[in-house]
Structure 1
Amino acid sequence: MKVLFATWQFWAISAAFFAALTAIFAKIGIENIGSDFATFIRTIVILLALALILTATGGWQSLSTISSRSGIFLVLSGLATGASWICYFRALKVGDAARVAPIDKMSVVLVAIFGVAFLGEQLSLPNWLGVGLIAAGAILVAYKG
């Protein structure tokens, strides 16, 4: 079991599972409140949960251990996350969760493109076929016909 927790596959599947719950819980939760306020509440919950996890695992670090390069990119990542959450909750407020979530997951396609373009990662022909199928699948699931 310990080996399972060390694999990226376990954590990626767990992320997908919790992302699915996020969409369902959020759609129900934003029913009578503004999407930006809902995002604010969600953020507070995440901050408290992470503080608890860091305390329980002894994972707190001094800010001086973070290089300026890492710091800049973590701030940019935080800003991108915030923008993503705001957009996601606004989309959920006006759209069906079953249609919003697949379009949100088009991020998978964009990560593949950005990974190749900016990080020098390489994808094989079958990998690109998978990226194309993800894009097509997201569009088909979101299609209201």
Structure 2
Amino acid sequence: MWKYYALLSAFFAALTAILAKVGVKGIDGNAATAIRTVVVLIVAWGIVAATGDLKAIKELNRTNLLFLILSGIATGLSWIFYFKALETGDVSKVAPIDKLSVAIAIGMAFLFLNEPIEPKVILGATFITAGAIVIII
């Protein structure tokens, strides 16, 4: 099932790039990020409430909370820089470079989470990195 969720994530990430490029036109990227964040906040809490998952909040421990907060900070910074890039860059260049995060995440998962890396994953990360380099230069 994770593969379907991952494909849906990729589709919506692509749609996000297109919609964000149009939405950021003529306004500051930071303001655009703030608006987007409010919408994400409402949608996420709406889903939690609708699915009855509010009880999960009680199950959070300090480690969960700390790392979710840190993840939120990283997400916010990622979005701010993404919107700044979209202000002046083409989606066809910004989005693929942003997806270099995939290769970086693979490396970090190996280093920090001790996840095994299959040769096909290394090959995929290499292609992603090479593609980003081609677009950058």
On whether the aligned pair clears a TM of 0.5, the verdict is yes
Letter in 1 for 2:25: E
Are 2:42 and 1:45 aligned?
no
| Greater RCO, 1 or 2 (C-alpha within 8 Å, sep 6+) | 2
Determine helix, strand or coil for the equivalent of 2:53. Answer: coil
Does the residue aligned with 1:61 lie in a helix, a strand or coil?
A: helix
Distance in structure 2 (CA, Å) of the matches to 1:18 and 1:62: 25
Aligned length: 137
Map of 2:53 onto structure 1: 59
The corresponding residue for 2:125 is 131
Q: 1:134 Cα deviation (Å)?
A: 1.4
**Distance in 2 of aligned mates of 1:29 and 1:15:** 20
In the alignment, structure 2 segments of 5+ residues that lack a partner are none
- Is 2:89 the partner of 1:95? yes
Distance 1:29 1:96 in 2: 13
Counterpart position of 1:32: 26
Q: TM-score, normalised by structure 2?
A: 0.94
Q: Which has the higher helix share?
A: 2
What is the CA-CA distance between 1:143 and the residue it aligns to? 4.4
Aligned residues with identical type, % of pairs: 45
Question: CA RMSD of the aligned region, Å?
Answer: 1.4
- After superposition, the C-alpha distances for 1:81-135 in whole angstroms (9 at most, x for unaligned) are 0000000000000111110000100000001100110000111233212210111
For 2:26, what is the secondary structure of its paired residue? Answer: coil
Between the aligned partners of 1:133 and 1:69, the Cα distance in structure 2 is 35
- One-letter amino acid matched to 2:128: I
Q: TM-score, normalised by structure 1?
A: 0.89
What is the CA-CA distance between 1:61 and the residue it aligns to?
2.7
Gaps in structure 1 of 5+ consecutive residues: 1-6
